[in-house]
Amino acid sequence: MGDSLSAGYNLAADEGWVSLLGQRLAGRTPAWRVVNASISGETTAGGAARIDSELATHRPHVVVIELGANDGLRGLPMEQARANLRRMIEAAQAAGARVLLVGMEMPPNYGPEYTAQFRGMFRELAEANGIPLLPFLLEPIARERDAFQADNLHPVAAVQPRLLEHVWPALEPLLAGP
């Protein structure tokens, strides 16, 4: 469950990090299937509205939640984003899925207080729900201008393998077992 960063905005279907994850798992554990339920432009409200139907349709063992960036960029109320993410986490856990929360950072021009609160929201949710957190999806590429498309928001195809390698250590332990 994610936004354009996981949906592979402006990339070929097989180039995004989630697609690369599916390719990796197909080679290692063919019984596993990756469903990319990410939508470009998605907010936490959209994810919270869709989570129950996605869980019922796909019955996942693991759910990766990468949402919140669009809430932050649009200045939507942080308490609402927190409540939406909490709802998604709790719904996935109630369905028996393991959950990985993938956080995002806001640009510094949003001010130190807002950026700290935004970062803290992900940490607090992970701790309160006993789930792992990858604090910042774009961490390995954030300071590399050529890692991004012309909009300076969405990563190019060439760096998608690096994003997968960044996510993998947090995700792999959740894939153990049934």
Question: How far, in Å, CA of 169 to CA of 178, rounded?
Answer: 18
Is 19 an annotated catalytic residue? no
Is 154 an annotated catalytic residue? yes
- Choose, from 3, 4, 6, 19, the residue flagged as catalytic: 4
> Are 13 and 38 a contacting pair, CB within 8 Å?
no
Give φ, ψ of 61 to 5 degrees. -90, -30
- Choose, from 3, 19, 71, 154, the residue flagged as catalytic: 154
Q: Rounded to 5 degrees, what angle do the CA atoms 166, 34, 129 make?
A: 65
> Are 140 and 119 a contacting pair, CB within 8 Å?
no
The catalytic residue positions are 4, 151, 154
